[in-house]
Amino acid sequence: MNITIIRVPDYESMSRQAADFLLKKIRELSSPVLGLATGSTPKGLYEQLISIHQTQKISYRHVTTFNLDEYIGLTASDPNSYHAFMEDAFFRHVDIPASQIYIPNGEAAYLEHECTRYEALIDKKGIDVQVLGIGQNGHIGFNEPDTPFSQLTHVTTLAESTREANARFFSSPEDVPKQAITMGIASIMKSSEILLLASGARKAEAVTRLLSGNVSEDFPASVLHHHRCVTIIADDEALSEFTRKEEEHD
């Protein structure tokens, strides 16, 4: 299997291991390009990277970042936009120059043009490691089930289940945007390496399905079986169902 699984006891250790993984690239490469994700899963990773930057005085000035996605219909200053999330959770605490931070612009007047522009930037810089979370329905970025694997950065309509899952961040479920710009599956697959993080029982079913090895567009994360270099850092709870099924087979 092209996928390395690192099993850790809990969210805290997942975040620490993920930070070590990225730190290695930050130290080794002269101009590392990191693909970043939003959501609850990578928050601890960002906290670890902030703490390393502040306590060990490690600079990230040479790092470039590309975020996976952004809602359409929220201004960048809206607290629920992924611009605001990233600023708050990571960027304002570290020294990555603003000119090296890329996030799709969900306020662009011509969204199709924005998608092409973003994809061209990804091609120009090349992503060294793409960090991914996983949706309960197997989405990566905002690539919902049945997104063609061939799609590049595009405008997508969120699955109702995704809007419900993300409603916890909004004051009311109706406020969750219906559309987003997301890097496509083909954009994600261009990255030299992929680091997928999963924590908690909420993700156990998705992780089991991902690790089953069946590749199908109705489960977007399954495309990772076609990537040459994937590391999954998952905690005991996220791997619980997979382990139980493996033990049943033994």
Kindly list the residues in this chain that would bind ligand GLP in the complex (CB under 6 A).
37-41, 68-69, 133-135, 141-142, 162, 166
**65 touches 38 (CB < 8 A):** no
182: which strand partners?
69, 154
Shortest Å distance, C-beta 164 to ligand GLP: 11
> Closer CB to ligand GLP, residue 62 or residue 80?
80
From CA 131, how far away is CA 108, in angstroms rounded? 25
Question: Which residue's structure tokens are 């975020």?
Answer: 67
Could you tell me the smallest distance in angstroms from the CB atom of residue 32 to ligand GLP? 20
Spatial separation of the C-alpha atoms in residues 173 and 166, rounded to whole Å:
8
Nearer Cβ to ligand GLP, position 64 or 166? 166
- Clarify whether 144 is annotated catalytic: yes
Q: Which is nearer to ligand GLP, 141 or 184 (CB)?
A: 141
- In the residue annotation, 139 being an active-site residue is answered as yes
Query: Measured from the CB of residue 97, what is the shortest distance to ligand GLP in angstroms?
Result: 24
Residue in this structure with the two tokens 């197997």, named with its chain if needed: 138
Catalytic residue among 114, 139, 143, 154: 139
Q: How far is the CB of 207 from ligand GLP (least distance, A)?
A: 12
CA–CA distance, 149 with 151 (Å, rounded to integer): 6
Return the closest-CA partner of residue 71 out of 38, 46, 119, 100.
38
Catalytic residue among 53, 67, 69, 154: 69
- The answer to whether 69 is a known catalytic residue is yes
CA-to-CA distance for 63 and 68, rounded, in angstroms?
16
Q: Which is nearer to ligand GLP, 97 or 173 (CB)?
A: 173
Strand partners, 195: 131, 231
By annotation, the residues acting in catalysis are: 69, 137, 139, 144
